[in-house]
Amino acid sequence: MKEDFPILSRQVNGRNLVYLDNAATTQKPHCVIDAMNQYYSLSNANVHRAVHTLAGEATEGYEKCRSLLKERYNASRAIITSGTTESINLVAHAWGEANLEDGDAVILTEMEHHSDIVPWQMLAERKSIELRYVPVIDGNLDMDIFDASLDGAKLVCVVHTSNVLGVRNPIEDIITKSKLAGAKVLIDAAQAVPHEEIDFEKLGADFLAFSAHKMCGPTGIGALLVSESAFEKMQPFMGGGDMIQTVSITGSTYQVNEHKFEAGTPRIAEGVGWAAALEWMSNIDLEKHHSRLINIARHVKQELVSKGMTVYSQLGEKDAAVVSFTHPSIHPEDFARLLDAQGIAVRTGHHCAQPLMERLGVSGTIRASFYIYNDEDDATTFLNGIDRVLEAMA
DSSP 25: -
Q: Taking a C-beta distance cutoff of 8 angstroms, is the pair 325, 309 a contact?
A: yes
Residue 32 CA, distance from chain mean position: 19
Can you tell me whether residue 10 is helix, strand or coil?
coil
Query: C-alpha 263: how far from its chain's center?
Result: 23
Alpha helices (runs of H) in the chain, residue ranges in sequence order: 30-38, 53-73, 84-90, 97-99, 118-127, 143-149, 171-180, 200-203, 228-231, 268-281, 286-306, 332-340, 354-360, 376-393
Going across the sheet that includes 130-134, the strands are 78-81, 222-226, 207-211, 184-188, 153-159, 105-109, 130-134
What does residue 347 show for φ and ψ, rounded to 5 degrees? -110, 145
User: Residue 21 gets which letter from DSSP?
Assistant: B
Q: What is the C-alpha separation between 143 and 176, in angstroms, rounded?
A: 13
Instruction: Tell me the sheet residues that pair with 155.
Output: 106, 184
Residue 60, amino acid: E
Active-site residue numbers?
352
